[in-house]
Amino acid sequence: MSTHDRIVAAAAELTTESGWAGITMSKLADRVGVSRQTVYNEIGSKPQLAEEMVLRELALFLAEVERAFDDHPDDLVSAIRGACRGVLEIARDNRLLKAVVSATHGADTELLPFLTTHSEPLLETAKAVVRARVSAYDVSLPDHRLDAAIDLIVRVVLSHVMQPSASPEATADDIAWLTSQALQAG
């Protein structure tokens, strides 16, 4: 693992242990066993570190999406169901995500915008992965409608990641049903 990756991983660990507000470049340097200047050289600023942590976690979620599509190469609705369920199951047990979301109840809210109001990099990355995978299926929707459906699915899943209203299974079933309706209406 590169020094850069070790620093981002250490930041995630420290965030789950003591919250984002307690993270300093010095603490990261001590945790990783490098100088504080190395942390700055590898990461830059604390906001850049926050974005990298969020994108690192996003990669874990997107790997689950990829697996679900690989498992259902001939059935788009099942692939969507599997991807949604997998993402929501990971979210349910993700310590960093819990630390970010639970921070909303106190003053430590600096990370939350990466999942809400400033989530564009996260959304665009997720939509691009889903769009690339969906393109392998025979979908009768025009491109602009397909893009709208993908945008809706990704945003609904993110909403349920942030504030679940049912089990991952039930939510995935609901999203899969909506997907099937959109595909039939196409």
Cα–Cα distance between 27 and 105 in angstroms, integer? 24
Residues 5 and 87 in one domain: no
**Same domain, yes or no: 11 and 58:** no
Structural domain that includes position 138: 51-185
16, HSE (Cβ side, Cα atoms, 13 Å)? 14
Q: Which CATH number fits the domain that encloses residue 24?
A: 1.10.10.60
Characterize 82-108 residue by residue with b for buried, 16 or more Cβ atoms within 10 angstroms of its Cβ, and e for exposed: bbbbbbbebbeebebbebbbebeeeeb
- For residue 75, is pLDDT > 80? yes
| Boundary residue ending a domain (25, 44, 63) | 44
Between CA 160 and CA 166 the distance in angstroms is 9
Are residues 177 and 115 located together in one domain of the fold?
yes
CA dist., res. 167 & res. 39, Å (int): 40
Structural domains counted in the chain: 2
pLDDT digits (tens, 9 = 90+) for 142-154: 999 999 999 999 9
Per 3-state DSSP, the chain is made up of helix, strand and coil in percentages (nearest 5) of: 80, 0, 20
- State whether 37 and 56 are in the same domain: no
The reported pTM is 0.82
Average pLDDT, stretch 40-57?
87
Same domain? 165 vs 125: yes
Question: Is 94:76 a contact under the CB 8 Å cutoff?
Answer: no
- Residue 122: the pLDDT is 80
Banded model confidence at residue 107, pLDDT cuts 50, 70, 90: very low
pLDDT at residue number 174: 97
